[in-house]
Amino acid sequence: MGTSNTFSTSNSHVKYNIKIYQNWQSIEGNYSNVTVVVDFWRDNSGYSTYGSGTCYCKINGTTYSAGVSPSQKITSSGITLYSQTINIYHEADGSKNLSVSSWISLDTPLSSSEQGFSEWLTTIPRASSISSISGGTLGNSVTVNISRATDSFTHKVDYVRPDGEHFRVGENITTSCTFTPALSDCDFIPNSTSGTAKIYVYTYSGSTYIGSSSKDFTVYVPDNIIPTINSVNLAENTAGIANKF
């Protein structure tokens, strides 16, 4: 997946680099399985470098090591002196920048400073998002449209009415959910023709919870139940007062 620059050692003809291979990912576990390899070689032919010592590799902040024996000769054809397969956990949003470095110490002598690079791993799909909410008149249907990070995700959907009470309105939902908020929810927006409600979408991969997203939307009192004033009649509380002005 990624290869570092060529690094130098105390021997001007011995070089090395680091490679990162991303093998597979776990959506449920939010981690990548990667293999890190450190290869050494000589840039001239007909010679070999060997000895006893250690090749070190720091992966994601943890230092590992592999013993090196005289039988592991560094030649122009190259040799792998360190290889490690490991699970690397991603950030909460599914992203991960993996840092690796390596160095060597042999009794030949052969040594190097710690040198490395970093690589962005493929982002792991996380919680789906709410792309849109259509409708909103109480007593009429509302449709929640969901944008999935991967086609295998399913969702649970909650409607939160204006007073904050949660109601489950969908299970095992893929990309949309339609429900009807109760007309009686008008009781929770007194002295107004509209109020604020909310939708929560909970994302699952199989039975594993991935994360959630939410979005506010406006709910409206239906026009046919909004009271209207047909006429206004005014009368003096004390007759004849108006004539005195």
Supply the pLDDT for residue 227. 67
- Looking at the structure, tell me whether residues 9 and 105 fall in a common domain: yes
Residue 124 pLDDT greater than 80, yes or no: yes
- Looking at the structure, tell me whether residues 136 and 207 fall in a common domain: yes
Residue 72 within any structural domain of the chain:
yes
Indicate whether this model's pTM tops 0.85: no
Of 101, 120, 139, which closes a domain?
120
Supply the pLDDT for residue 232. 72
- Looking at the structure, tell me whether residues 21 and 96 fall in a common domain: yes
Write out the residue range of the structural domain in which residue 35 sits: 2-120
Of 33, 29, 68, nearest to 52 (Cα)?
68
Supply the pLDDT for residue 242. 66
Q: Mind listing the pLDDT tens digit for each residue in 181-213?
A: 999 999 999 989 999 999 999 999 999 999 999
- Looking at the structure, tell me whether residues 98 and 145 fall in a common domain: no
Residue 226 pLDDT greater than 70, yes or no: no
| Average pLDDT estimate for 117-125 | 96
Whether the CB-CB separation of 112 and 29 falls below 8 Å is answered with: no
Of 87, 120, 153, which closes a domain?
120
Cα separation, 143 vs 199, in Å, equals 10
Supply the pLDDT for residue 86. 98
Q: Provide the domain count of the chain.
A: 2
Give the CATH number, domain containing residue 134: 2.60.40.10
